[in-house]
Structure 1
């Protein structure tokens, strides 16, 4: 099955805004299924996570963020949000060339299809368009993502112990940081 082309989330598109509950559902699924450290800890409140994504949309409007997403057909042929990734573009005079990769999340039902790779490729194209030539990101140490990012050309910078709160038991776990020069 071929992976559809990634597209940009457009705040002016009512269909895209209508996907915010699906953004929250994937976010929740990644926390509950994979125990991903992704902003929230159980018990998860869907309405709070939808509000979080509404705030991210406001950042798109403000020119501080780009969200790349892929819509793909599920096993029954219905188009669904398969995954997404965000590029945070902080407005700073000392680092206008830096961008932060955030929330590379793929629905568990769409995994192992190359979606994460396609999302990251499109994100990097968008980063260059906006002048971000140095990308930074972090992931929890020991996660599958820690293996994926080097395959995409990201360099491991190091590990920060006790960086995030585990959604499993509330313990502090390490985070691994990466960077890539585009």
Structure 2
């Protein structure tokens, strides 16, 4: 069964989805060792508080969350991604792709491409043509972003603390895509 179209998180009625977003967030940390804000032992209430605060930012226009559901009839989230749009006079055309996370149960189904395609179209429509993102060196996402048209910018060594052991410092790779020069992904 094909996936439905992704959609924007709506703070007015989607707050019951926040525990799912927190659970996917935790799964990506434990399953993939993603540098994703938190270190084990993971606290679901702490991650849920993070998502509650992020959702509260949506009405001010600086953040959007793009959701991919498993199907049309259930409210099961397969994955998501955030677009951060900082309020800056020197870079009103920039956006940051943040927290691209796909549930381990729903990988290799095109979820990442679909939510990234929606994010890119939305960003371009909002005048945010230059997108930046990062991922930990050695994780599968390092191979995904070039396939989505992102250009490697470089690596910062010893960028963050690994969730594997809580002490090892790992390298982070940065990417960008200029939607002023290329079309957004099709989804």
Query: Is the pair's TM-score, using the shorter chain for normalization, greater than 0.5?
Result: yes
User: Which runs of no fewer than 5 residues in structure 2 stay unpaired?
Assistant: 180-187
Runs of 4+ in 1 over 6 A off after TM superposition: none
Other structure's SS at 1:11 match: coil
For residues 130 and 90 of structure 1, the distance between their equivalents in structure 2, rounded to whole angstroms, comes to: 12
Match of 2:172 among 171, 175, 178: 175
- CA RMSD, 1 decimal: 1.3
For residues 26 and 116 of structure 1, the distance between their equivalents in structure 2, rounded to whole angstroms, comes to: 13
For residues 105 and 116 of structure 2, the distance between their equivalents in structure 1, rounded to whole angstroms, comes to: 19
What corresponds to 2:185 in structure 1? none
What corresponds to 2:49 in structure 1? 51
For residues 125 and 108 of structure 2, the distance between their equivalents in structure 1, rounded to whole angstroms, comes to: 28
1:56-87 CA-to-partner distances (Å, cap 9, x unmatched) read 111111111010001114xxx85411100000
For residues 181 and 162 of structure 1, the distance between their equivalents in structure 2, rounded to whole angstroms, comes to: 27
Matching of residues 98-113 of structure 1 within 5 Å:
98-113=94-109
Counting matched residue pairs gives 178
Give the TM-score of the pair, scaled to structure 2.
Answer: 0.92
The answer as to 2:7 corresponding to 1:10 is no
For residues 54 and 79 of structure 1, the distance between their equivalents in structure 2, rounded to whole angstroms, comes to: 18
Give the TM-score of the pair, scaled to structure 1.
Answer: 0.95
